[in-house]
Structure formats: C-alpha cells, structure tokens
C-alpha cells in the first residue's frame, strides 16, 4: 500500500506488487490512475508492506476513507494522533 502526494497537494492511495514501477507509471505513462494523470508530478510519501495483495488492498480501502489530517499524521509518523483524528461513525 502506498500514498502519493500529487502536485496539487492532494493524496492518492493505492496498492501494487511493484512499488517502483507503479510510481513511475503514475508519473510518466497512461497506465497511471486518471486521478494522478491530471496532477503530475507525484511523489511517494508513504508505503507499507503486507503479507498479501488482499491485505494491501484492504489497507488501501481503509486509508482512502480517512481524512486528510489523519493521512498526514500517518505519513509524518504521528501514530498516537490517529485515534483522535478518526471521523465520527454515523448509524
């Protein structure tokens, strides 16, 4: 699972088998996501390894639901701040 920071300051969260190749694709090829194609260049700001692609994909989906502030705390290693940045759950 990885997080890219785009040229406009937004974040893109993804998962891949080959991080170096995928980041290069986001920056140069039409194989990158449509979101990042419009926001180049992008730079890798965070990554995690997982035991399986299913675990990486689940983590990607989790982080996609996070606020910008919570993503920033993860990127900056402020793990203690994460619980306080959780969005309230609605029934």
For 67-91, the pLDDT digits (tens) are: 999 999 999 999 999 999 986 655 5
Tell which residue, 14, 10, 22, 6, has the closest CA to residue 61.
14
pLDDT of 10 over the 90 cut? yes
Tell which residue, 24, 53, 60, has the closest CA to residue 41.
24
| Whole-prediction pTM | 0.90
What size, in residues, is the chain?
91
């Amino acid at each position: 699972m990885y997080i890219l920071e785009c040229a406009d300051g937004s974040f893109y969260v993804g998962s891949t088998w080959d991080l170096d190749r995928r980041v290069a694709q986001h920056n140069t090829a039409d194989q990158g996501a449509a979101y990042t194609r419009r926001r180049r260049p992008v730079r890798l700001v965070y990554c995690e390894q997982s035991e399986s692609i299913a675990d990486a994909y689940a983590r990607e989906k989790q982080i996609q639901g996070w606020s910008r502030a919570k993503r920033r705390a993860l990127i900056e290693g402020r793990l203690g701040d994460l619980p306080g940045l959780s969005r309230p759950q609605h029934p």
